[in-house]
Amino acid sequence: MALILGIETSCDETAAAVVKDGYEVLSSSVASQIAKHAAHGGVVPELAAREHLTALTPVLDGALREAGVTLAEIDAIAVTQGPGLIPALLVGLSFAKGLAMGNRIPYVGVNHFIGHIYGAFLDEANRALEDGASYPLLALVVSGGHTSLVLIGRDGKATALGGTIDDAAGEALDKGAKLLNLGYPGGPVMQRTAEGGDPHRFEFPRPLTGAAGKPLAPENRYNFSFSGIKTALLYHVKHHADESGRLPEALLRDTVASYQEAVVDVLTRKTLAAAKETGAKTIVVAGGVACNSVLRERFERLTPPGVRLRLAARKYCTDNAAMIGGLGYHYWKKREFSAFDIDSFARLPQITQIPFLG
């Protein structure tokens, strides 16, 4: 048995978790900073870092208490090394280094993006990752910072099929909400506002799908672009707003429903096309935007027979430390730990190997 302590501070959630043997989540403690950043309409990196400094110790204590273990019983510490906001990442990474050094516990810096993929397999009794029939596996990681398609083989070899060339899907939803003065965070409030609206009343663009009648360059077949949708919303609001600069309530619901539909349509269309072309046996949908009910329903309805669908549980879609601790277990098994001079990184590096396989 191995107990891994996970620590996550890549953005505006301070999180700690204890995970047993890579799958069983004994505790997951998260302190949200939403109220702090709402006044700014988005995450302020320096403010996020200061809040992490304040919250880390109480969150850690809460995770250990909930799991019923002490720090002396922890076998290894896994901490988010990147990608993310550097000021926020540095706080968590430094905290983990101090814990590891002071308590003589091995530690490892892990990739937050890969953690999201792994989060779809937490609490998994059947060990789907160990089932050869699950492969090849196609992962759609969709969040505020990433919209990417990664094909993963049974041996852990990974191929990035495509990613965002400008705005990620979550960023488009967040900025859409800000443009419409709906509040922060944008994703959940956009979904709530869209309820009861007509998703087909307005036709927002579907970039990089060939829907505009222009030939799609082969290199963009599985890439994503959401900046055009955002620009279309800006002009839509200018055209339909009343004297106060706002959209009437009914028109607002239809607008948000149509905007959300465009984002969901692009995500599902490209993912299902990639799954068909690659012969994927499993589709994984993870990341914060995977909480969206419309997106989840669309994949459940359109995923073809014979292809397994794994939607990450909502509690593991948004940033959390359980996915970090679970992923860290696989480094612990291989005794692959980090040196104390590693640094955080902001951007997603090229991924060619998945550490929980191979």
DSSP assignment string, 81-149:
EESS-HHHHHHHHHHHHHHHHHHT--EEEEEHHHHHHHHTTTT-SS-GGG-GGG-SEEEEEESSS-EEE
Q: What percent of the chain has pLDDT over 90?
A: 85
Tell whether residue 292 is among the known ligand binding residues.
yes
The DSSP code for 188 is: H
Q: What pTM was computed for the model?
A: 0.95
Name the CA dihedral angle for 83, 85, 91, 94, rounded to a multiple of 10 degrees.
Answer: 30
Confidence check: pLDDT of 15 > 70: yes
Kindly state whether residues 53 and 71 are assigned to the same domain. Answer: yes
Indicate whether 244 pLDDT > 90.
Answer: no
The label of the residue with tokens 């590891």 reads 100
Could you check whether the bond before residue 185 is cis, i.e. omega within 30 degrees of 0? Answer: yes
Is 141 known to sit in a ligand binding site?
yes
Range of 53's domain?
Answer: 3-120+316-334
Whether 308 and 321 map to the same domain: the answer is no
Do 180 and 251 belong to one domain?
yes
Q: pLDDT confidence of 211, banded at 50, 70, 90?
A: confident
- Asked whether 9 and 92 are in contact (CB, 8 A), the reply is yes
> Is there a single domain that holds both residue 232 and residue 304?
yes
Q: Residues 284-308: pLDDT tens digits? A: 999 999 999 999 999 999 999 999 9
**Beta bridge mates, 25:** 19
Residues 77 and 165 in one domain: no
* Residue 215: predicted pLDDT: 79
**Structural domain contains residue 43:** yes
Q: Please report whether residue 353 resides in a domain.
A: no
10 Å CB burial of residue 47 (0-12, 13-18, 19+) is middle
The answer on 280 and 158 residing in a single domain is yes
Is 116 annotated among the ligand-binding residues? yes
Residue 203 pLDDT > 70, yes or no?
A: yes
pLDDT at 210: 84
Classify residue 345: in a domain, yes or no. no
The answer to whether residue 125 scores a pLDDT higher than 60 is no
Are residue 89 and residue 238 in the same domain, yes or no? Answer: no
236 is in an annotated binding site: no
The enclosing domain of 185 has a CATH number of 3.30.420.40
Q: Is 143 annotated as a binding residue?
A: yes
200 annotated as belonging to a binding site for a ligand: no
Task: Tell me the C-alpha distance between 260 and 272, whole Å.
Answer: 18
pLDDT above 60: residue 126: no
112 is in an annotated binding site: yes
